[in-house]
Amino acid sequence: MTQKVENKDQNKDQNKNQNNQEWNIKEEINTALEVYKDISRQIQFADTKAGLILAWHGASLGFLTKIVVDAIGKFQYIGWKLATLFSFGCALIAALASIGFAFSVILPRLKDTTCQRECMFWIYHIRCEDFNRDLERFKKNLNDPERVLDCISRSVVAVAEVLKEKYTHLRYSLLFLIAALGFEVLTILVLAKGLLYQTP
């Protein structure tokens, strides 16, 4: 009788430990998913900022180019033309550098396409398998919480690296944007002063 009670207590403890372990894995999966979603939102935010930078350069360069082309023909002195072209050229170079970094922000980055490890998320093996095999692997992985946690964790690390690279390029794009704005303002000032200088 005593042995039955002890066995029953041991079974209860085992079941409790197993339930706690499953619960902990579920909590870890939920936490990892929240981190993954947060990083994905930040990636989207970086892409949106890069898009705004590209839109700004498209508008400002078009506007400035038209002003320069219309006004530079009115200059009688070569010095004003050279000063205008120099400042406009510097603005153009800085803007092109900013545009290049902005484009590098929104470019997709897929890593680990060697198929050495099978996982269930897009960051790995998106180019390696066919749809049916990916689907079967996804279903199989869903039945194993530890495998799900491993895949999500690997994807979190992968997208975190993508986010870090995006923000590095976005920072450079913003720095060149500021430089371009400075030279654009300088170009407008030179144009204005040059046009005033032409009037008798």
> pLDDT tens for residues 139-168?
777 777 887 788 788 888 888 888 999 999
Q: Which residues contact 26 (CB under 8 A, 6 or more apart)?
A: 145
Q: Cβ-count burial of 118 within 10 angstroms (0-12 exposed, 13-18 middle, 19+ buried)?
A: middle
pLDDT at 112 over 60: no
- Residue 123 is predicted with a pLDDT of 47
Taking the C-alpha atoms of residue 181 and residue 33, their distance in angstroms, rounded to an integer, is 40
Q: Are 119 and 154 a contacting pair, CB within 8 Å?
A: yes
Total number of domains in the chain: 1
For residue 68 the two structure tokens come to 């320069």
Q: What proportion of the chain, given as a percentage, has pLDDT over 70?
A: 74
Rounded to a whole number of angstroms, the CA Rg of the chain reads 30
Q: Which spans in 73-143 are helix H? A: 78-106, 131-142
Q: Closest Cα partner for 72 from 183, 188, 180?
A: 188
Q: In the block, which residue shows the tokens 């400042």?
A: 87
For the chain, counts of helices (H) and of strands (E):
4, 0
Q: How confident is the model at residue 175 (pLDDT cuts 50, 70, 90)?
A: very high
Q: What is the mean pLDDT of the chain?
A: 79
- Residue 179 is predicted with a pLDDT of 96
- Residue 5 is predicted with a pLDDT of 44
Q: In the block, which residue shows the tokens 């947060």?
A: 38
- Residue 194 is predicted with a pLDDT of 75
Residue with the bigger pLDDT between 193 and 63: it is 63
**86-108 pLDDT, tens per residue?**
999 999 999 999 999 999 998 86
**Residue 116 DSSP one-character state:** S
Q: What is the DSSP string of 143-177?
A: T-HHHHHHHHHHHHHHHHHHHHHHHHHHHHHHHHH
Query: The domain containing residue 96 runs over which residues?
Result: 2-198
- Residue 70 is predicted with a pLDDT of 85
Q: Lowest-pLDDT range, 91-100, 167-176, 177-186, 191-200?
A: 191-200
- Residue 36 is predicted with a pLDDT of 87
**14-65 pLDDT, tens per residue?**
555 555 555 587 888 888 889 889 988 999 999 999 999 999 999 999 999 9
